[in-house]
């Protein structure tokens, strides 16, 4: 499979080059992205490059300032071609082909995006302790590896039991279940914004590819700014339950966009992007409730966020509490 590279042509970190191989790379202001750029006009998670088969695609993650390909703001996912220009915030990137490279996105030199000898660390003011993001990520990775090792051992024991003790039909059923538990993948990004002349409220939930969940709340009228990330990855069986709910809802067949008419002094928007087993779907609803299916799915995702953090009011503005 061909590999690609991205070079920063203008903006912070000009000249930096990154290798892009499957499964792709996230681009944004947060240092949790594969490609983190300290551009204040970027969203924390701005856009994502992913692969459909061997073809690279790019998706804007419901950002305020948008993502432009060759000077045009994209409204839906776009197939990337070598030579394409990607504009995010004040930064321009060039997407080109490159043979070889490592299996994950990485910088071709040791300098950080801000031009220093270390990667730029962006303090968003949400952390209450002095632990660095690198240390936290290392701890999370270690915990994830330990959990995967334990899970693998347990699966081996179950597989032996299946082979020895169960009839053929029951074996097939349990083998399918074990396969789902170990192989299916899920990523979610859900953003809800409600705005009036007096206030802007934003709620964001991210489930990343490692299974960690981040919830962020910004409520300007109440000066409420909260960002929390789970200490451990959510169990695979919980992710599998979410996958089933999303698939059963018919989300992948829903319209990409549903527009309504804004009421006086009120504007609202909800965007949901889901990646299941590498298949990407984004749906946006503006100034309307949307279909019963999308409404129920949004409620399921917000309830999931409250369950993970034990915050019953996490998805609601202060005037709804």
Higher pLDDT among residues 193 and 111, named by residue: 193
265: CATH: 3.30.1560.10
Of 217, 236, 239, 237, the C-alpha closest to 227 is 217
Q: Is residue 297 part of a domain?
A: yes
Q: Residue 69's domain spans which residues?
A: 4-97
Lowest-confidence pick of 115-119, 195-199, 259-263, 297-301: 115-119
Q: Tell me the sheet residues that pair with 216.
A: 204, 227
One domain, residues 196 and 93: no
Handedness of CA 302, 139, 130, 25 (dihedral sign): negative
Q: Is residue 114 part of a domain?
A: no
Of 296, 281, 291, the C-alpha closest to 189 is 281
| pLDDT digits 0-9 by tens, 94-139 | 999 976 433 334 444 433 344 333 333 333 333 333 333 443 444 4
50: CATH: 2.60.200.20
One domain, residues 200 and 299: yes
What is the layout of strands, in order, in the sheet containing 55-60?
35-36, 24-28, 47-52, 55-60, 78-79
How does the average pLDDT of the chain come out, rounded?
77
Q: Is residue 222 part of a domain?
A: yes
Concatenating the DSSP letter of every residue in 133-144 gives HHHHHHHHHHHH
Q: Is residue 233 part of a domain?
A: yes
Cβ 218 vs Cβ 193: under 8 Å: no
Q: Is residue 158 part of a domain?
A: no
Q: How many domains is the chain built from?
A: 2
Cβ 68 vs Cβ 83: under 8 Å: no
pTM of the model: 0.49
Q: Is residue 159 part of a domain?
A: no
Q: Is residue 153 part of a domain?
A: no
Domain-ending residue, one of 97, 123, 158: 97
One domain, residues 201 and 307: yes
One domain, residues 206 and 303: yes
- Angle, CA of 213, 43 and 215, to the nearest 5°: 20
| pLDDT digits 0-9 by tens, 288-307 | 777 888 888 988 988 888 77
First and final C-alpha spacing in the chain: 52
Does the pLDDT of residue 163 top 70, yes or no?
A: no
Overall average pLDDT of the 79-83 stretch: 95
What confidence score (pLDDT) does residue 161 get?
63
Which residues, including other chains, have CB under 8 Å from residue 247's CB and lie 6 or more apart? Answer: 276
Lowest-confidence pick of 106-110, 142-146, 200-204: 106-110
One domain, residues 191 and 306: yes
One domain, residues 197 and 295: yes
Of 215, 211, 234, the C-alpha closest to 225 is 215
CA distance 315 to 321: 10
Cis geometry, peptide bond prior to residue 23 (ω within 30 degrees of 0): yes
Does the pLDDT of residue 10 top 80, yes or no?
A: yes
One domain, residues 299 and 192: yes
Higher pLDDT among residues 287 and 36, named by residue: 36
What confidence score (pLDDT) does residue 198 get?
85
Domain-ending residue, one of 97, 129, 149: 97
Which residues, including other chains, have CB under 8 Å from residue 219's CB and lie 6 or more apart? Answer: 199, 201, 202, 225, 317, 318
Domain-ending residue, one of 79, 97, 115: 97
Does the pLDDT of residue 58 top 70, yes or no?
A: yes
Q: Is residue 290 part of a domain?
A: yes
One domain, residues 93 and 194: no
């Amino acid at each position: 499979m061909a590999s690609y590279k991205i070079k920063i042509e203008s903006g912070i970190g000009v000249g930096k080059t990154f290798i892009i191989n499957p499964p792709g790379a996230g681009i944004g202001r947060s240092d949790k992205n594969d490609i983190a750029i300290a551009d204040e006009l970027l969203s924390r998670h701005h856009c994502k490059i992913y692969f459909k088969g061997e073809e690279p695609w790019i998706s804007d993650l419901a950002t305020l300032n948008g993502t432009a390909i060759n000077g045009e703001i994209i409204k839906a996912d776009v197939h990337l071609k070598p030579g394409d220009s990607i504009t995010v915030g004040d930064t321009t990137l060039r997407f080109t082909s490159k043979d070889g490279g490592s299996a994950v996105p990485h910088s071709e030199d040791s300098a950080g995006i801000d031009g220093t000898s270390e990667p730029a660390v962006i303090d968003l003011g949400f952390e209450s302790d002095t632990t660095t993001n690198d240390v936290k990520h290392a701890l999370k990775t270690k915990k994830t590896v330990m959990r995967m090792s334990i899970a693998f051992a347990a699966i081996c024991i179950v597989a032996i039991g299946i082979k020895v003790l169960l009839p053929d039909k029951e074996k097939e059923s349990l083998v399918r279940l074990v396969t789902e538990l170990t192989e299916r993948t899920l990523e979610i990004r859900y953003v809800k914004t409600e705005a009036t002349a007096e206030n802007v409220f934003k709620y964001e939930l991210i489930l990343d590819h490692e299974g960690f969940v981040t919830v962020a709340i910004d409520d300007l009228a109440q000066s409420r700014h909260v960002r929390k990330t789970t200490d451990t990855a959510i169990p695979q069986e919980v992710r599998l339950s979410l996958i089933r709910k999303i698939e059963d809802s018919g989300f992948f067949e829903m319209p990409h966009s549903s527009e309504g008419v804004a009421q006086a002094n009120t504007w609202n928007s909800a965007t949901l992007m889901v990646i299941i087993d590498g298949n990407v779907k984004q749906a946006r609803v503006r100034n309307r409730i949307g279909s019963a299916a999308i409404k129920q799915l949004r409620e399921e995702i917000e309830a999931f966020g409250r369950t993970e953090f034990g915050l019953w009011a996490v998805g609601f503005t202060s005037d709804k509490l």
